[in-house]
Structure formats: structure tokens, C-alpha cells
Amino acid sequence: MRIDAQGKWIVEDDLTFEINEPDAYALEEALQLKEKHQGEVIAICAGPARAASTIREALAKGADRAIHIESDGVASTDTLGVASLLAEAIKGESPDLVLTGLQSDDLGFGQTGVVLAELLGMPHGTIIMQVEVDGSSLRVKRELEDGWFQHVTMPMPAVLTIQSGINRLRYATLMGIKKAKSKELKTAPASGAGDPVAPLESVFQPQKEKKTQMLEGDARAAAAALVEKLKFEVRVLG
């Protein structure tokens, strides 16, 4: 990963882009809920033109239609800005349930879903490991710290942030990919985001906390050196 010349972000040219992992679990959860309770799954994404390939993938996996809030500025806004863009587009759809991934793999603020809930005036639950729908109410399993869990009930509509591992992800089938081509992919204007209140000023390399002894050489030499260290410095072998 290389930092760009301005020190503001990374060089994106040499990257490949894919769906954010927790978001993939959120999509899968939506598809499974639809299979159980009927209804419609809408995939929504705010991002530049290249995000269309991720949206197509969501359609191929089974989403019924999609909304692409096309904006090149998403990377330079903040979570409030992104959530505002999403909220504007979601309002018109009046969904029963809004699912997001728990956090993003790049910025990792872990709050787009919660901010979205506030902007939409909906209750929310975070780090969700199970979703049960009962009429107009939800019972969810929240992950707490240190191996603890908790069930929480709340009315719909609601926003849930989904934890990775809640379900088994499906792959898009050939048939799914074919079908996706005829599904609706609407482009929505990027409106609602103001100037960022929490701008990213610069990006830099982390400083090492510890002095690491790197064991050099080929695999065999490095392995032998490590065993030496474990035996004579750490004293756990022998």
C-alpha cells in the first residue's frame, strides 16, 4: 500500500476493489430474510463509477434492484456525509429494515449504520449475530465483549449493523449473473452531504512499538534461527 504524493490518501491505481467484507454478510442476511419472509431486497451503495461492479455482484447474488449514489467525493467526506447521502436515498424507499456491515475495512470508523439510524429516526442495533422477524418487531442477537451475547427486541423499521460470520456467504451463480443484467440499477444524485466536520488531514506510516528481530534467510534458515531463539532466549523448548 503506497501513500499518495499529497500524503492525503493511498495510491488507488494499483488496487483492486471488492465489496467490503462485513457488507457482504449484511447483503447475505437480507437475502436470507427475504427467502423466509418474502419482500424485496434493495442494494444501495454510495461511491464512484467503479462501485457499479460491486452493485452488479449484489444483484447477481439475488438483490431485486439497486441504487447507486454516484459520487467521486465519498472518500473525502466523513461518516456523517456518507450516512447523509444514504439517508436521502433511503427515505423515499420506506424500508422495513436497513442492514449495513458493522464497519469498513479501510477507514473502520464503524458507525455509518448508527448515524444512518439517527438520521432516519429509526432504532438500531449493532454487531448483530442473528435476526428474527416477528410481525412488525425484531429480535436480534447482539455480540457483547469477551464471548457474551444479548438478545434485544425493537420495533421496525430499524437499522442493524451486521457482524461478519453471522451467516455463510453465497456465490453468484451463472444464472444469477445473467438475471442481474435485466435488473433495475438506478443512479441517484449525491445530495445531502455537507463539508466534512471530521476531515482526514494526512496519512502516514505507523511507527513500530517494539523492536522486532527479523529472522532472515530461506524458510529453513529462518525456522532454525527461531528455534534457537525459543530455546536460548525465550527458554521454552528443551
Partner 1 sequence: MSFVLVVLERSAGKWHKMSWEALAAGQAMASELGIPCASAVLGKDLAEVAREIPGKAYAVEHDLLSDYTADGFTLALEQLIRQENPAYVVFPHTYQVRDFAPRVATRFGAVLLSDLVGIRVKGNAANYERQLFQGKLMARMLSKSSRAFLSIQAGAYRAAESREANQEVVAFAPTLDASQIRQKPEAPFRESARAVDLTAADIIVSVGRGIKEKENIAMIEELATALGGELAASRPICDSGWLPMERQVGSSGQTVAPKVYMAVGISGAIQHLVGMKGAKTIVAINKDPNAPIFEVADYGICGDLFEVVPALIEEVKKAKS
- Other C-beta atoms lying within 10 Å of the C-beta of residue 144: 9
Work out the angle at residue 86's Cα, subtended by the Cα atoms of residues 13 and 66, and round it to the nearest 5 degrees.
75
* DSSP run (H or E) holding 44: strand 42-47
According to the binding rule CB under 8 A, does residue 14 interact with partner 1?
no
* DSSP run (H or E) holding 167: none
Span of 29-37, 39-47, 176-184, 225-233 interacting with partner 1 by CB under 8 A: 225-233
Please say which residue, 52 or 154, places its beta carbon nearer to partner 1: 154
According to the binding rule CB under 8 A, does residue 238 interact with partner 1?
yes
Member of 52, 75, 107, 177 binding partner 1 (CB under 8 A) = 107
d(Cα 47, Cα 53) in Å, to the nearest integer? 11
According to the binding rule CB under 8 A, does residue 41 interact with partner 1?
no
Please say which residue, 49 or 200, places its beta carbon nearer to partner 1: 200
According to the binding rule CB under 8 A, does residue 1 interact with partner 1?
yes
Per-residue contact track with partner 1, 130 to 169, x per CB under 8 A?
------------xxxxxxxxxxxxxx--------xx--x-
We find the least distance from the C-beta atom of residue 92 to partner 1, in angstroms, to be: 21
According to the binding rule CB under 8 A, does residue 171 interact with partner 1?
no
d(Cα 226, Cα 212) in Å, to the nearest integer? 13
Contacts of 191 (CB under 8 A, 6+ apart): 85, 88
| Residue 7 main-chain phi, psi, to 5 deg | 70, 25
Member of 65, 170, 179, 229 binding partner 1 (CB under 8 A) = 229
